Amino acid sequence: MKYSILLLFGLSLFAMACGDNYQAQQAAHDEVMEIHDDVMPKMSEIQRLVRSLKKHLKTEEGQTPLDDATKAKIETVIQQLEAADEGMMAWMNTYKKPKKEMEKAAALAYLEKEKGQITKVRSEMLASIEVGTALVKQLAGKAK
C-alpha cells in the first residue's frame, strides 16, 4: 500500500514536471512565432518593391536613361530586399518546433537561438523595406 502511494505520488510529480516543461516550451515557441507572424506579411511588400525597382531599371522609349550610380543603387537595394526575403524563407525552412518530450534546457536553448535568428531576419526585412520604399519614392520624384 505504501509503495503504491509513493509510486502514484512519484508519477504525479513526473507528470506535473513534464507539463511545466511543455508550458515553458510553448511560451518560448509562441514568442518566436509572434516575431515571425509580425513580419511574415511584409514579404509581399518586399516583392512589390523589387518589381517596382526593376521597372525603373528598364528604360522606356522617350525616357532619359538612368546614370550608372543610380542603376547601381537600385541593384544594391534589390539585392538587399531579395536577401531579406531569402532570409525569411531560409529561417522558415529550418525552424522546427521542439517536441514535447525534448529536454527542457535543450528546448529552451534552441528556442532562444531561433528567437535571435528570427529577430535578425525581422530587422533585415524592415531595414530593406525602409530603404526600398525611400528609393522608390525618390525615383518617382525624378520621373515627374
pLDDT of residue 44: 97
C-alpha cell at 79: 539585392
Roughly what angle, to the nearest 10 degrees, separates helices 68-94 and 42-57?
150
CA neighbours closer than 13 Å in the CB half-sphere of residue 87: 24
Q: Give pLDDT, residue 102.
A: 87
What pLDDT does residue 33 have? Answer: 97
DSSP string, 55-67: HHHSPPTTSPPPP
What is the number of other CB atoms lying within 10 angstroms of the CB of residue 65?
8
Q: What is the pTM assigned to this prediction?
A: 0.81
Q: Furthest-apart CA pair in the chain: how many Å? A: 96
At 1-29, the pLDDT tens digits run 555 454 444 444 444 454 567 888 999 99
Residue with cell 536553448: 109
